[in-house]
Amino acid sequence: MAEKTTITTVARHARVSRQTVSNVLNAPHLVRDETRARVLASIEVLGYRASQAARQMRTGRSRLIAVRIEPTRDGINGSVLDRFLHGLTETASTAGYRVVLYTAADDAGEIATYDELLASHDLDAFVLTSTHRGDIRTAWLAGHDVPFVTFGRPWGAQPEPGRGGGHPARQHGGAAEPHAWVDVDGAAGTAAATGHLLAAGHRRVGFIGWPAGSGVGDDRRAGWQDAMGRAGLDVAGLSAGTSDGIDQGERAARDLLALPDPPTAIVCASDSLGLGARRVCGAVTGFDDTAVAAATGMTSVSQPLPEAAGRCVQLLRRLLDRDGPPDTPEQVLLAPRLIVR
């Protein structure tokens, strides 16, 4: 094994002081062109790379961002995180950041992990996924002055039990302080899916989603409802809410089809639900454009995951790569795309 190349090695090789080498790297404008060129040449020749650990001790920044990896729930929607992670890793690396993974059983466990990661590894920031109503994580991070971005907008404080109708999802419930987030417009997605079915001649279009109060679910339901409303169509009784899963989707679809005036097509809030519904209904759309949708030829709403990941990194940089007071948080709402099959 060769000697470890440190900044001292480079300094000796280029016949300058350590500090000058450091300046070439961190404040190039302070160094004369000729000197800089010589130093850069030495760096190249010696294959020098600054030690993150040493740099971190001095600057307090680790250039590490953390993301939670969840146990793929039903496997169908799980690959969404997979693609998001890949995009995140790629974009982060071009910005000089690395992604570290962590797991947690629930929100409380996740917060304990924040504490641990921050104290021992000095993590620079967190990317949170799967935001939901009553999410306690963002308040904790904000309260501890930890930079973070969520993939998924804030859905408000507590689940509101009695809120059936209306468009509750559109109110981003009184989050104490807004934070940076990136999200995909789920309502626009289900609206597009509904429009697609309407264009195909359907008039009775049903919806299968999750029970009211789930934020993401309410949003997707609202998109369907809006699209139906704009077409002047009645939606009374055409909506079902159930937990996620293939069998649940089939059951809910059966119920809808048993109505006196049943739907002829169904928009679903997930590919899992859609797959189940398809067993009993010909015209069904799913959500997330997972491999299952592609494999079974189901029309589905596709989220622009790589772009969402890129935006998260972008927002993070705005938070991190600055010396002044933090900018006002930014929010990004991306449009999904309907993949017609």
Partner DNA sequence: TTGTAAGCGTTATCAA
Partner DNA sequence: TTGATAACGCTTACAA
123 makes contact with DNA (CB under 7 A): no
Answer yes or no whether residue 19 interacts with DNA by CB under 7 A. yes
Q: Which of 91, 125, 65, 78 is nearest to 306 (CA)?
A: 91
At 187, list the tokens: 């309502």
Window contacting a second copy (CB under 8 A); options: 9-17, 75-83, 169-177, 332-340? 75-83
DSSP 208-269: EEPPTT-SHHHHHHHHHHHHHHHTT---TT-EEE--SSHHHHHHHHHHHHTSSS--SEEEES
Token reading at 134: 């009553």
Q: Mark the segment that binds DNA (CB under 7 A) among 11-19, 95-103, 262-270, 327-335.
A: 11-19
Pick between residue 22 and residue 91 the one whose CB is nearest to DNA.
22
For a second copy, the closer CB: 64 or 184: 64
251 sits near a second copy (criterion: CB under 8 A): no
Out of 4, 44, 258, 295, the residue judged to bind DNA by CB under 7 A: 4
Q: Does 103 bind DNA (CB under 7 A)?
A: no
The alpha carbon of 245 is separated from its chain's Cα centroid by a whole number of angstroms, namely: 22
Which listed residue (41, 45, 57, 340) binds DNA by CB under 7 A? 57
The entry of DNA, a second copy, none near residue 46 (CB within 5 to 8 angstroms by kind) is: none
| Pair 209, 253: CB distance under 8 Å | no
- Rounded Cα gap, residues 91 and 70, in angstroms: 21
Kindly list the distances between the CA atom of residue 218 and the CA atoms of 154, 181, 190, 204, 308, in Å, as whole numbers in the listed order.
Answer: 13, 19, 11, 20, 21
Alpha-carbon span 218 to 210, nearest angstrom: 8
Residues 88-147 close enough to bind a second copy by CB under 8 A: 89-90, 93, 98-103, 115-116, 119-122, 145
Binding status of residue 116 toward DNA by CB under 7 A? no
Region 215-244 residues binding a second copy, contact defined as CB under 8 A: none
Using rule CB under 7 A, residue 243 touches DNA: no
Q: 302 pairs with which residues across the strands?
A: 337
Q: Which does 158 bind (CB under 5 to 8 A by kind): a second copy, DNA, none?
A: none
Question: How many CA atoms are closer than 13 Å to the CA of 321, on its beta-carbon side?
Answer: 12
CB of residue 305 vs a second copy: minimum separation in angstroms? 10
Give the interface with a second copy as residue ranges (CB under 8 A): 1, 5, 47-54, 56-57, 62, 64, 69-72, 74-76, 78-79, 81-83, 85-86, 89-90, 93, 98-103, 115-116, 119-122, 145, 246, 272, 275, 290-292, 294-296
